[in-house]
Amino acid sequence: MTGIVTSRSPRLTPLLLGVLGFTGAVSPFATDMYLASFGSIQADLGTTASLVQLTMSVFFLGNAVGQLLIGPLSDSLGRRPMLLTALTIYSALGIALVFTPSIEVFIGLRLLLGFTGSAGIVLARAIAADLSEGATAVKALSVIAMVGGLGPILAPPIGGLTHELWGWRGTLATLAVISLVMLALAWIFIPESLPPESRRPARIGQTIATFASLVRAPKYIGFVLAFVFGFSAMIIYISASPFVGQDVLGMPPLLYAFGFSAGGAALVMSNIVNARIAERVGPVRMLGYGVAVLSLGGAAMLALSLSGALSPWNFIASAFVLTAGAGFTMSNASALALAEASHARGAGAALMGCLQFTFGGLLAPLAGAWGPDTAVPMAVLISGCAILAACFAAFAARARA
């Protein structure tokens, strides 16, 4: 697929980083924006709450599988053709979703949306890694994460507003427009970052061998798992925060919204700070700071939950520290992991993204395993993930290449 960008020596400009961050925000927009419409979708399509919730789960499933396929294919066919093709199909599916006649069609389209939308996530990271290295890559991925971090802040209020104005189909139409904007920006501004001479043959055996070599690389897999468990700690908080904040702590909707936005702001702020100082301090040391802050937030939440002292304000404060630590952890761990996968960054980004959504999707529902009246399961899981992130970060930093 050809396009407007033709530069043979592409550079990571602020504009390009912003566009990569926007395309990398596929997931928060596609999931967070229609949460407020769940009840209306259930009523209008005459279905059950569990089937409506399944539309979220299959999106994550498609996202995980899509990254495993699209990442390695981009190592063979190039980043830009894969990205533009996937985003074109994603936009068409988004338009079709507006006119969905049944929950079964809705679920099928959401699965395909997750699959094609995964290209925005995996290829944004791969392109940034192609065009940078070392501390510069950390800075680039921090900026991408910062822009992408605006998704969880902006998507819920946009979704709530569009639902009030135009109903759930209007919210889905807004999502379709956002996908078309992503496609247009990618077409105009995102160049090919992988020259033909650096590409690898597209063979199943070769792809499996590449994944196997990545799994056997201790530094790569250590940094990937530090990233995965840092993300899991954050996603457990995000998924459990509505019932902990409103049901357990009795927070009114406005205060809960403020607290949730504060967590999103912490994620953005941590990536701004990381982008400014990581080049000087070094990504390994910044990762150490990140897992320390992450563990501090998790420990505070656990201690407060176990002692019965958890309150709305210290819940918000703990979540702020937690998400800030997650921001530092994920940006530095992902850059360090992709640096170890320099021979196959598409596959490296794909495996990282697949594990990210698989672990996050499996662990998040466990936060409510003990019922809706306690925050302890959430705090235990968050603390456990923070400790694992710290252990894997330390392992990777000391492992041989």
Question: Is-same-fold flag (14-202; 208-398)?
Answer: yes
* pTM flag (> 0.85): no
Instruction: Give 114-162 pLDDT, tens digit per residue.
Output: 999 999 999 998 999 899 877 777 778 777 877 776 776 778 778 888 9
Dihedral, CA of residue 33, residue 35, residue 37 and residue 42, to nearest 10: 140
Could you give the percent of the chain with pLDDT greater than 70? 95
What is the amino acid identity at position 363?
Answer: L
CA–CA separation, 15 vs 17, rounded Å?
5
Q: pLDDT at residue 397 above 50?
A: yes
- Helices then strands, each counted (H, E), the chain: 14, 0
Query: Looking at domain 208-398, does it have CATH number 3.40.50.300?
Result: no
pLDDT class of 369 with cuts at 50, 70, 90: low
> Residue 143 to residues 6, 150, 181, 307: CA-CA distances in angstroms?
24, 11, 20, 38
The 10s digit of each residue's pLDDT in 167-195 is 999 999 999 999 999 999 999 999 999 99
Per-residue pLDDT, 178: 95
- Residues 235, 255, 239: CA angle, nearest 5 degrees: 15
Cβ pair 6, 190 in contact under 8 A: no
pLDDT at 347 over 80: yes
pLDDT exceeds cutoff 50 at 293: yes
Domains of the chain by residue range: 14-202, 208-398
pLDDT digits (tens, 9 = 90+) for 30-87: 887 887 787 889 899 999 877 887 888 788 889 989 999 999 999 999 999 999 999 9
Predicted local distance difference test score (pLDDT) of residue 159:
84
The b/e string for 343-378 (b: 16+ C-beta within 10 A; e otherwise) is: ebbbbbbbbbbbbbbbbbbebbeebeeeeeebbbbb
Alpha-carbon distance 90 to 217, whole Å?
Answer: 33
Rounded mean pLDDT of the chain?
88
pLDDT at residue 164 in the model: 86
- The stretches of 282-375 forming alpha helices (DSSP H) are 283-307, 312-340, 345-363
95-114 per-position pLDDT tens digit? 999 999 999 999 999 999 99
Q: Look at residues 85, 182, 80 and name the one whose alpha carbon lies nearest to residue 123.
A: 80
Band (pLDDT 50/70/90 cuts) for residue 392 is very high
**Domain spanning 14-202: CATH superfamily:** MFS general substrate transporter like domains (1.20.1250.20)
State residue 4's pLDDT score. Answer: 47
User: Would you say residue 373 has pLDDT above 80?
Assistant: no
| CB atoms closer than 10 angstroms to residue 49 | 11
What stretches of 217-252 show up as alpha helix (H) in DSSP?
218-242
Confidence (pLDDT) at 372: 66
Region of poorest pLDDT, from 36-45, 85-94, 223-232, 384-393: 36-45
